[in-house]
Structure 1
Amino acid sequence: MKKRKGNPMRIKFVLPCLLGLLISSCNPTKYLAEDQKLYKEGDVVIHNDTIPKERKEAFETFLESALMPKPNKKLLGMYFKLGLWNMGGGPDSTNNFVRRWLKRNGEEPVLLSDVNREYNQNLLRGKMESLGFFHARVTSDTLIDGKFATVRYDAFPGKIYRINNVTMDVDSNSQIGKNIRNVEQYSLLKKGSNYNLDVILNERDRIDNELKHKGFYYFSPDNILVEVDSTIGDHQVDMFVTIKPETPRKAKEPQTIGNVYIFPNYTETSGENRRRIPRYAEKFEDKYYIIDRENRYRKKVLANHIFMEPGTLYNRWMHQQTINHLVNLNAFKFVKNDFVDNADSSNTLDVYYYLTPMQRRSVRLELIAKTASVYNGTEANVNWTFRNAFKGFETVTLSVFGGYETQTGGNVNLNSSYIRYGAEVGINWPRLLSPYKWAPAKRYIPRTFLKVGYEFLNRRTAYTLNSLTTNFGYAWKENEQKEHNLALAEFIYVQPRGISDEYKAQMDTVPTLRHIVDPQFSFGPNYTYTFTNSMENKKHTFYAKAGLNTSGNILGLIQGADYNAGNIKHLFGTAYSQFVKAEADVRHYMKLSPNSQLASRIMVGTSYSYGNSRSLPYLKQYFTGGPNGLRAFRARAVGPGSSRPENIGEDNFFADQTGDLKLELNTEYRSKIAGMFHWAAFIDAGNVWLQNTDENKPGGRFSKEFLSELAVGGGLGLRVDLDFLIIRTDFAIPFRVPYRAKDDRWVFKYIDIRDRDWRRDNLVFNLAIGYPF
């Protein structure tokens, strides 16, 4: 390795800047006048013996978050933003580019004189009263420590008020009153609960939402009044939910849908022409006016995504479903919706949909640079999209790709490099093409997909692979949390070509290399189920994905295929695979604080090959290691079991370590440092195993000792969150190596960070995009 020389000018510039920032951070009061104090923090102390300690601390933190102004930001105890401002000269107005940049990215000092104690006292008192502490009081005092000042707020909340009784004070004979009474049992205001202003506001929203489903389009949460009587004694309140007297008559009457007008080729026009209905407009199926003179869309398909029907009551759910469907048809750039009073009928709404089409054809170019461990490469993708291809909102895609990847370090030569290119054609229908009439939830659009792809892989002096894949099936969402993907037919055909003499020679000593270039042919259905509630704001959230993949099972049974007896059956001149494969990926996320999280994952994969196969085909086998698995080990370099990796030298070809079964466990602590910067500490464990004994891989078969064969590693990482993109770097080292002697697999005693050879062989750096799980 060549020693890389540093840039002395850059070092001369960076080091003084870092030193200056450190000094400025350590002296944040540098530019303060003699009578000025730096506002350090606002400290809230609650005086109430009836609140448990842990809840009291959380209550204090909640109140402190409301105080104004916010003190200067800190990083590792230092005022880093204020330090930048100080480095920029503080109050000095010198017109200097460097100083202007430093001050623009820094913060002026927040002074004690900026704090309005009376305002904060009223703010804290209001916060406590909104939580049911009606007779709360707050006092404050200033604590001076040299040039720093802290304001202490002593809060005396008193005893909390609870709900004694809730009365729906509405006219039961009116239509709106009957509807409110019908959903009274779902009220958020419960007898015995604490008084809480947020719950009252949510109750108003709940009633409004229920009424919107019953036709009350013009009703609003502001039309509901919740009166509170706190004079009944014993720290209790009675509540009366009623409709404000000034509520307009129209808001108290349900609205019926009148005419529905759809403009699928809408462009921005003046308001007075917006609702002009052409003379040629006719109702489709006696329901909708679809203004599409050029017949760009099949009216029946478009009508299937409109849920607001003439003659029915307005329904918010149907309203939202229509908008969601129109947006997710992937054909319209903008979707606008208007409700207008019908001129000829009272309490009737005409509905207008203005749909601005997307560009029908589009091309996107992607250039990708990849790096992981010692591998580097580039890839280019050209994606052509044809929307509304057959006038039924079908999307046709054509993707052409090409890439190159090579190894730039480690102990393997460029025989591990490869060039790949190929293409994929896909068609996506926004409906289920099936002879059987079945429909999942209306909320989401089910889809039928067909994909055909070809890939050519040239591993330079080793071999070439030609791969053809075909997929046909359905994808649909059951609800916001559950998603299904059923591929009725998946065909994978891989044919090797041009195997070099050097590669053939090494196949005899490294049988794994032979498995890579075996002809592969698998066909059969596969199914994937996904569940997630990670979008919810909860302490514990989950993500789970499970799949079942099969190949050649019925045909193999009919033909009596038997690999062990030498009775191998062929289809189109190639031996086909016969297996059942199941896998599951379960992830748990535990929120420890607003800025920290514990993420854990368990992946289990199993398979059973029989009849025409002895093991999974290479493309279906499991592997581990790399930036998204065991980060302390190279990609596809672990296992199977306790078998030692193939002896790889400078003139040898790299052999992936794969298996028929897999277990992987990961735990990662994630925390925010400041701004866009986050850090993580992680531990990974896992391995792959073989279904059957392989004399070339002793210890590779799955056995009851599988736990003792887990590879374990861990490390630290830095993440840069750019909102639209997360850049992840990880440094990891192995803790446990499964192919070592059974009593010597833990390698903590061999760790020597100062040793260059140890770092070269054990310290793994990964650069990746996004979180590993």
Structure 2
Amino acid sequence: MKSTVFSIKYFLLLVLIAIYTTSCSGIKAVPEGEYLYVGPKIAVLPDSIYSKSERKAFDAEINALLFPKPNKSFWGMRPGLFFHNLKNPEKKSGLGHWLSKKFGEEPILLSNVDVNYNRDLIVNRLENKGYFNVRAEAEANTKVKTATVDYEVTPNAQFLIRDVSYASDSSRIWQDILKTEKHSLLKPNQPYNLDVIKQERVRIDTYLRNHGYFYFIDDYLLIQADSSVGKHQVDLRLVLKPTTPKIAKYPYSINDIFVYVGNNDANYFLNYKKDTVPNYKNIVITDLDSLFKPKIFDNTIHFKTGGLYNRRDQSISLNRLVNLGIFKFVKNQFVIADSLNHKLNVMYMLSPSEMKSLRFETTGKTNSASYTGFEVSTNWQHKNLFKGGERFKFSVFGGMDFQLGGNNQGYDIYRLGSELSINWPRLIAPFGINYTGDYVPRTQATIGYEFQKRMQLYALNTFKTSFGYNWKYRTFSEHNLDVIEIFYVSPTSVTELFQNQAQTNSYDARILNKQLTFGPTYSYTFTNTMLNKKNTWYYKGSADLSANIVGLLTGANVKKGKEKEILGVPFSQYAKVENDIRFYHKVSPRATLATRFLAGVAYPYGNSKEVPYLKQFFIGGSNSIRAFRPRSIGPGSYDPKTAPSSFLMDQSGDIKLEANIEYRPKLFSVFEGAIFVDAGNVWLINKNEARPGGEFTKDFYKDIAIGAGVGLRVDIELLIFRLDLAFPVRYPYGEDRWAKIDLLNSRWRKDNLLLNFAIGYPF
């Protein structure tokens, strides 16, 4: 074995040396008399007056400015140049040409670098930061075939703001500007910063545009700087440019609101009749085909006749009209209705989309539990069922999962079901709600049925219905409240094989019980991951309550023999809370560190000794702890392999803890890599003799399962295909729980390596 390990290490070393040599050989292709540009070297002088962190900040900011960027390197290797040099100039096809085009990089030469331009960029950027006496020198430094550009930068002292003043008068616009003074971003004793000055102009412009000044723009504001006051200080003075047009200095109010619905009159905005009488709540509506009820526009358009123009009202109105999902195009225009009294007409031109659609979908899938299968569905949708933007959807679906190997071979799963849902673009409630969010609030109702047959074992009939609300005040956060959500599960066609199993395992016997849950559910989601920021977050918190009021009113208490029923079925009573927190940190432009923490608890009480199976927590699989198969971990230190004649690997719990960390570097082209560690488990709140060691105790941390692995992802814009190869690091059960990892042993690899194929990131 030692000789084998030595041979492999020796082979890998030779491969690395070969790659390094061939990658660096790209330098040989640099034309005669040219030098490969390998990057800048920046020195901030004098060292004595700047701390290490300040010099590091200077270095990072200056580096970000300089152009062009050198060829990408990795441990001194330049694979982009290596692939580029595989191309034969005399051939326009072949493997070398394809590799060069796909993965190659043109060499960045010293002659491509405009040294004087970069030096001026540095001076300009630091002056914008308040270093008015900055000096910068630049010089190329060449070696045999490579070159750097050395920059020596002397920022000197940074100027601070001494005073901020306003060139105000008694006009309406200046009175409104002065109202914002206490919120100014420009503060005495703060460093002069041109970026902050620009933000201050935008802040004032936003305030004015939200208070009627439709024709105002931030470019009309000028902030003058006087740096002659001495002691490295500067005075700032806010003025209106002399060229500011008169029309921009007055707030405008809303006169009439016009809505045109149709696809035929592109010149409506030019030909509308100014004396048209409003036909619904001060809105002039022209709906050529009578497609919509007028109320839909009153719910979406936030402007009111007689009120001041407000850019936020404009944004809300457009967001809501687009969010309805029933218009292909939404156009908005403002025209002066009364120049003397400063009034505007607001006009919307709306092009309806197709309201009805029929979609047929088929999906093939596989998972790490050795199940392979498919699902087909047919969906019919109407986006405007009652002419108020109501979305109606009816779907029928069916599918099957079968195992090609594994413990459950032969116990194939068949599913067949349908669902009907309707979604209203408003809040339907017995009391009035004044909703002011950016998006259209929605009321939603669903009803559905699914039949699931697990061959040779049992079948389940599942009925579900819900009624609730969905709303978003801002882009980043969303609320979902189901006032009532009802699940009823009834088993049927239970085989003798499964009944025998249930007699020896009370935990599996739960599936034979009818399950009824009903109550409110609520979830809150926040995410800013769509922003191009260094650090972004995702959070989802949810709460699920079942029969809490009914259980209280009926005095249900199963522990005292007072189990209550509804229509002959004992109802489940529990409280469930779950939290999902994710943090994404951009380590570099080409690498991200993603982390996730999950915590949940479901507590049975009153009419229930345990949480119903369909509401419990599960762990493992391609989106969880990838080194273990789905639902094969827990609860606690319980080892599923010790169960007598156990053919079901569905382990569940009332408490769930999970943590994941994953490093995601971009490799090349559409390929990304991953290195990850997953950890977690599920536990029971109450002790269960059929699952010894499954209860949650103060030593819960000893039951944590840990897995690790590597992954490859292919990002083709619309889809991300993912392959993750994982292995156990620590088992939650047994005497010696830490795994003995032996990657060179074929038997160990067969027993422990688990390949997960999935679509999309795991989190």
Q: One fold, TM greater than 0.5?
A: yes
Secondary structure of the corresponding residue to residue 176 of structure 1: helix
Per the alignment, residue 7 of structure 1 pairs with none
Instruction: Give 1:160's aligned amino acid.
Output: Q
Per the alignment, residue 519 of structure 2 pairs with 524
Per the alignment, residue 3 of structure 2 pairs with none
The answer as to 2:545 corresponding to 1:550 is yes
Instruction: List alignment gaps of at least 5 residues for structure 1.
Output: 1-17
Among 752, 758, 765, the alignment partner of 2:755 is 765
Q: Is the 8 A contact 1:677 1:718 kept in 2?
A: yes
Instruction: Give 1:691's aligned amino acid.
Output: I
Kindly tell me: are residues 512 and 280 of structure 1, through their superposed partners in 2, closer, same or farther at Cα, counting changes over 3 Å? farther
Kindly tell me: are residues 179 and 553 of structure 1, through their superposed partners in 2, closer, same or farther at Cα, counting changes over 3 Å? closer
The answer as to 2:345 corresponding to 1:336 is no
Q: Is the 8 A contact 1:24 1:87 kept in 2?
A: no
Kindly tell me: are residues 435 and 256 of structure 1, through their superposed partners in 2, closer, same or farther at Cα, counting changes over 3 Å? same
Q: Is the 8 A contact 2:602 2:616 kept in 1?
A: no
Instruction: List alignment gaps of at least 5 residues for structure 2.
Output: 1-15
The answer as to 2:623 corresponding to 1:631 is no
**C-alpha displacement of 1:676:** 3.8
Residues 603-654 of structure 1: CA distance to partner in whole angstroms, max 9, x if unpaired?
Answer: 22222323432211111111111122222211101111111204589x9632
Secondary structure of the corresponding residue to residue 283 of structure 1: coil
Per the alignment, residue 654 of structure 1 pairs with 648
Residues 133-192 of structure 1: CA distance to partner in whole angstroms, max 9, x if unpaired?
Answer: 11222212222221111111212222211211111123x211111111111221222211
Per the alignment, residue 181 of structure 2 pairs with 184
TM-score by length of 1: 0.90
The answer as to 2:410 corresponding to 1:414 is yes
Secondary structure of the corresponding residue to residue 141 of structure 1: strand
The answer as to 2:605 corresponding to 1:606 is no
1:369-768 superposed matches below 5 A: 369-373=364-368, 374-415=370-411, 417-534=412-529, 541-564=536-559, 567-647=562-642, 653-741=647-735, 744-747=736-739, 750-768=740-758
**C-alpha displacement of 1:551:** 2.0
Q: Is the 8 A contact 1:670 1:678 kept in 2?
A: yes
Q: Is the 8 A contact 2:280 2:294 kept in 1?
A: no
Query: Distance between the aligned counterparts of 1:563 and 1:343, measured in 2?
Result: 74
> After alignment, is 74-83 or 151-160 more displaced?
74-83
Equivalences, count: 746
Query: Distance between the aligned counterparts of 1:545 and 1:116, measured in 2?
Result: 49
**C-alpha displacement of 1:768:** 2.2
Query: Distance between the aligned counterparts of 2:175 and 2:64, measured in 1?
Result: 43
Secondary structure of the corresponding residue to residue 311 of structure 1: coil
> After alignment, is 674-683 or 63-72 more displaced?
674-683
Query: Distance between the aligned counterparts of 1:268 and 1:76, measured in 2?
Result: 62
Per the alignment, residue 212 of structure 1 pairs with 209
Query: Distance between the aligned counterparts of 2:93 and 2:288, measured in 1?
Result: 63
> After alignment, is 750-759 or 329-338 more displaced?
750-759
Instruction: Give 2:29's aligned amino acid.
Output: Y
Residues 309-330 of structure 1: CA distance to partner in whole angstroms, max 9, x if unpaired?
Answer: 2222211111111111111112
TM-score by length of 2: 0.92
Q: Is the 8 A contact 1:75 1:673 kept in 2?
A: no
Query: Distance between the aligned counterparts of 2:67 and 2:337, measured in 1?
Result: 50
Secondary structure of the corresponding residue to residue 186 of structure 2: coil
Kindly tell me: are residues 553 and 94 of structure 1, through their superposed partners in 2, closer, same or farther at Cα, counting changes over 3 Å? closer
> After alignment, is 330-339 or 478-487 more displaced?
478-487
Per the alignment, residue 79 of structure 1 pairs with 78
> After alignment, is 617-626 or 572-581 more displaced?
572-581
**C-alpha displacement of 1:346:** 5.3
> After alignment, is 476-485 or 239-248 more displaced?
476-485
Instruction: Give 2:499's aligned amino acid.
Output: K
Q: Is the 8 A contact 2:338 2:344 kept in 1?
A: no
Residues 458-510 of structure 1: CA distance to partner in whole angstroms, max 9, x if unpaired?
Answer: 21222221111001111223444443222111111111121222222222233
Query: Distance between the aligned counterparts of 1:104 and 1:683, measured in 2?
Result: 35
Per the alignment, residue 238 of structure 2 pairs with 241
Secondary structure of the corresponding residue to residue 140 of structure 2: strand
Kindly tell me: are residues 365 and 237 of structure 1, through their superposed partners in 2, closer, same or farther at Cα, counting changes over 3 Å? farther
> After alignment, is 55-64 or 617-626 more displaced?
55-64
Identity of aligned residues (%): 41
Query: Distance between the aligned counterparts of 1:531 and 1:486, measured in 2?
Result: 15
Query: Distance between the aligned counterparts of 2:415 and 2:75, measured in 1?
Result: 47
**C-alpha displacement of 1:533:** 4.7
Residues 507-550 of structure 1: CA distance to partner in whole angstroms, max 9, x if unpaired?
Answer: 22333332234221111222223344545666654433322222
Query: Distance between the aligned counterparts of 2:668 and 2:533, measured in 1?
Result: 23
Instruction: Give 1:361's aligned amino acid.
Output: K
Query: Distance between the aligned counterparts of 1:312 and 1:611, measured in 2?
Result: 55
Query: Distance between the aligned counterparts of 1:344 and 1:132, measured in 2?
Result: 44
